């Protein structure tokens, strides 16, 4: 069974946050959080490009000049020991951190799946609410149209479909705080895929999951890449690396290897 006590490792502890900040972060990511590979400029196959990427934390270098390219339709595993800079790298690629130096180009919309955030128990969030955040948009002239009943129905169906893909069908109405740690992690994967993003970035999405759920997560990510999304995920699992198109190995804040996978 999924481990209900699973928690983020030391490398991701800097990103741990309350639900209020999660809501703010998700809202800030809304413009980048949904779409498909069709959202990219015509003819563009390169989804992410980083050149000379640097990041300092507390005066100490975390990333020391990372260069990488990731294309649409690729499934890329980012590996390395704890503290090597993996989580910082994906947060920079997603745009939730600003680099200390270098440049990042994103060709289309991005969805970021974080490890489990802290959740204030008094917030009345359901599992459906949390998954639906993956489709949030800023209020605009389009908002009224998107809020009409037929659109709400389509949104609800998309949330239900995403929950079914991660094995949580029928749990949409359950309070978020009643889920086990592993169930929450699966719901966050559902949040990432609900709007079919063009670029999907995940920080150890299978952390704390049982073998069956880890296998399901791999299948989901392969399917997302097969439909044309660029999929990048941090992992320590050799089975994840085996199904990836490429492995990017980070060590000491540098990309030490960029290897072909499956």
Q: What is the pLDDT along the chain (262 residues), one digit of tens a residue?
A: 454 433 333 333 333 333 333 333 433 333 333 344 445 544 558 999 999 999 998 888 999 999 999 999 999 999 999 889 999 999 999 999 999 999 999 998 899 998 866 667 777 899 999 999 888 755 434 434 445 556 668 888 999 999 999 999 999 999 998 999 899 999 999 999 999 999 999 999 988 899 999 999 999 999 999 999 999 999 999 999 999 999 999 988 888 878 775 5
pLDDT of the residue at 23: 36
pLDDT of the residue at 135: 82
Domain locations in the chain?
15-260
pLDDT of the residue at 148: 57
Q: Is the dihedral of CA 228, 165, 191, 5 positive or negative?
A: negative
Report which of 206, 219, 204 is spatially closest to residue 262, judged by C-alpha positions.
Answer: 219
* CA 53 to each of CA 74, 203, 240: distance values in angstroms, whole numbers, following the listed order: 21, 18, 25
Q: Is the pTM of this model over 0.85?
A: no
pLDDT of the residue at 58: 85
Question: What CA–CA distance (Å, rounded) separates 29 from 48?
Answer: 16
Residue 258's Cα: distance from chain center in Å? Answer: 21
Write out the two tokens for 247. Answer: 């492995």
How is domain 15-260 classified at the CATH fold level? Rossmann fold (3.40.50)
110 and 224 in contact (C-beta within 8 Å)?
A: no
List, in order, residues 6 or more apart from 177 with CB less than 8 Å away. 119, 121, 125
How far separated are the first and last CA of the chain, in Å rounded?
Answer: 28
């Amino acid at each position: 069974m999924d481990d209900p006590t699973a928690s983020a490792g030391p490398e991701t502890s800097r990103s741990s946050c309350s639900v209020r900040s999660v809501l703010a972060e998700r809202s800030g990511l809304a413009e980048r959080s949904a779409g498909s590979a069709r959202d990219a400029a015509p003819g563009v196959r390169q989804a992410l490009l980083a050149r000379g990427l640097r990041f300092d934390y507390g005066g100490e270098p975390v990333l020391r000049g990372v260069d990488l390219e990731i294309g649409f339709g690729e499934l890329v595993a980012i590996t390395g020991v704890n503290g090597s800079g993996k989580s910082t790298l994906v947060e920079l690629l997603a745009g939730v951190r600003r680099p200390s130096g270098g440049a990042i180009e994103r060709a289309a919309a991005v969805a970021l799946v974080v490890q489990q955030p802290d959740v204030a128990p008094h917030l009345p969030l359901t599992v459906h609410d949390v998954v639906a955040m993956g489709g949030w948009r800023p209020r605009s002239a389009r908002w009224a149209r998107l809020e009409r009943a037929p659109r709400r129905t389509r949104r609800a169906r998309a949330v239900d479909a995403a929950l079914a893909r991660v094995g949580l069908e029928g749990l949409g109405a359950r309070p978020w705080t009643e889920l086990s740690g592993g169930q929450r992690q699966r719901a966050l994967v559902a949040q990432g895929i609900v709007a079919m993003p063009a670029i999907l970035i995940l920080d150890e999405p299978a952390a704390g999951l049982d073998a069956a759920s880890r296998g399901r997560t791999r299948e989901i990510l392969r399917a997302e890449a097969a439909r044309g999304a660029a999929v990048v995920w941090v992992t320590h699992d050799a089975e994840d690396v085996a199904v990836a198109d490429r492995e990017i190995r980070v060590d000491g804040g540098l990309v030490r290897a960029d290897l072909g996978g499956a």
